Amino acid sequence: MKRVVVSCFLLGLIAFTSTAVLAKEVIVEIYKKKYTPNEVTIELGDTVIWKNIEKRQYHNVWFKQLQKEEPDYFFPDETYKRRFDSLGEFSYECGPHPKMKGKVTVISPEYL
């Protein structure tokens, strides 16, 4: 009987850990002065990576609601990444190109 209980516990533990969702990384490409996609929905704890694939143009990702000062620029073939540990909608834009806009929506894993 003890073996059955231990076996059931181990099977349950394996099933639980195999269905646990790990944090993901989502890529947003920057090309022709556009964020693609310009809106993403992610789960709490996920990371968004912005990748500049322009040939010559620099950009940044500025969450004005979170940071007062404009962040540093990143250049072609460089990336910027941010992990999201709060729920909500986070709008951003490119400081040097304010018509470039995007939004990250962070939701709880159970709502996806």
Q: What is the pLDDT of residues 45-81, one digit of tens each?
A: 999 999 999 999 999 999 999 999 999 999 999 999 9
How far apart CA 95 and CA 72 sit, in angstroms, is: 9
H runs (alpha helix) in 1-112: 2-19
Q: Output the six-digit token pair for 112.
A: 């996806």
Average pLDDT over residues 79-103: 97
pLDDT score at 60: 97
CATH topology of domain 23-111: Immunoglobulin-like (2.60.40)
Give the residue, 21 or 108, on which the prediction is more confident.
Answer: 108
Average pLDDT in the chain: 86
The model's pTM: 0.78
DSSP for residue 95: S
Percent of the chain with pLDDT over 90: 76
For 98, left (φ over 0), alpha (ψ -120 to 50), or beta?
A: alpha
Domain boundaries, the chain: 23-111
Rg (CA), the chain: 20
Measured CA distances, 82 to 24, 44, 95 (Å): 12, 12, 17
DSSP for residue 94: -
Average pLDDT over residues 12-34: 73
Of 112, 61, 109, whose CA–CA distance to 82 is shortest?
Answer: 61
Confidence band of 22 (pLDDT split at 50, 70, 90): confident
